[in-house]
A and B are shown apart, each in its own frame.
Chain A
Amino acid sequence: MKRALAAAALISAAMFLGACGEKPQTNAHGVRLDAAPWTGTGTQPNSATAFTASGWQPGDRASWEQHLKVRAQNQNEYNRIN
């Protein structure tokens, strides 16, 4: 009887303590990661479509980054107007 009680106490303690654990928050488990944006949107890898902005080469990360920096500067009217 005592053994059964002790076993039940151990099992219930393990269950209660199990809820106190922390799970990792790296979010890398089971989440499908996205394809890199500089690979373009074409059906073939590193290809463009009619909607792709001109001025960069899909697949070339450096050209994509530079293109976005130049495009972001279009929001600066001190460059465009003054």
Chain B
Amino acid sequence: MARMKFVCDSERCIECNGCVTACKNENEVPWGVNRRRVVTLNDGVPGERSISVACMHCSDAPCMAVCPVQCFYRTEEGVVLHDKDVCIGCGYCSYACPFGAPQFPSQGTFGARGKMDKCTFCAGGPEENGSQAEFEKYGRNRLAEGKLPACAEMCSTKALLAGDGDVVADIFRTRVVHRGKGAEVWGWGTAYGSQTAGTPTNGVTK
């Protein structure tokens, strides 16, 4: 199986925040924590674009590289998850992440930062699949139910695609061919490496 990936089609996103709502509802994310959010570029200017942003489950995840307690792990499907029993809430991952994915609930005394919370690709975490403990810590495990992330399945315009990287890339390619524009996938190169990444050019490796 290829890796699980997200694609957000900025030509289609209408900033309805349906993905944000679906995520919060499905995973019962606490107040103040947004695993997914919609970012609008050039807001109010003709040609503005909106993008749904969350953890992209990077191929070479910077959060995983900087974590001092090594609480992250990657599943066979390429989903980057973390163990909240190990996380110390230091926030290094927040600084390292190019997508601003790590979130920190601040419900403790004096607004103390809690353990990191982020998108799990609706794959739960290191607790028993479908258990109450898994749901309370990480949210719903839709992958183990044979479903895709709620944000993508609820997207009204299907701007947000999730699933096997080969399948979502194929869907996006079909769209681009039909409409003849909008081939740029925001964040794809950053998360999964550009098509030319690692190719030596003029003796210098990108």
Flag if B161 contacts A75 (CB, 8 Å): yes
Per the CB 8 Å criterion, the residue count for chain A at the interface is 37
| B71 beta carbon closer than 8 Å to chain A | yes
| B19 beta carbon closer than 8 Å to chain A | no
Flag if A69 contacts B83 (CB, 8 Å): no
User: Main SS of the interface on chain A?
Assistant: loop
Flag if A34 contacts B130 (CB, 8 Å): no
- Shortest C-beta distance, A82 to chain B (Å), equals 9
- Shortest C-beta distance, A12 to chain B (Å), equals 24
| B65 beta carbon closer than 8 Å to chain A | yes
| A19 beta carbon closer than 8 Å to chain B | no
Residues in chain B near residue A42, CB distance under 8 A: 130
Per the CB 8 Å criterion, the residue count for chain B at the interface is 45
Flag if B145 contacts A75 (CB, 8 Å): no
- Shortest C-beta distance, B88 to chain A (Å), equals 13
- Shortest C-beta distance, A2 to chain B (Å), equals 40
Interface residues of B (CB under 8 A from A): 1, 64-65, 67, 70-77, 81, 83, 85-86, 123-126, 128-130, 141, 143-148, 152-153, 155, 158, 161-164, 167-168, 170-171, 174-175, 178
Task: Jot down 16 A-B pairs with beta carbons below 8 A, ordered by A.
Answer: A27-B73, A30-B86, A32-B126, A34-B124, A37-B77, A37-B144, A41-B144, A43-B130, A52-B146, A67-B146, A68-B163, A72-B148, A72-B163, A72-B164, A75-B155, A75-B161
Interface residues of A (CB under 8 A from B): 25, 27-43, 49, 51-53, 55-56, 64-65, 67-69, 71-78
**Which 3 residue pairs are nearest across A and B when measured between Cβ atoms?**
A41-B130, A72-B163, A53-B146
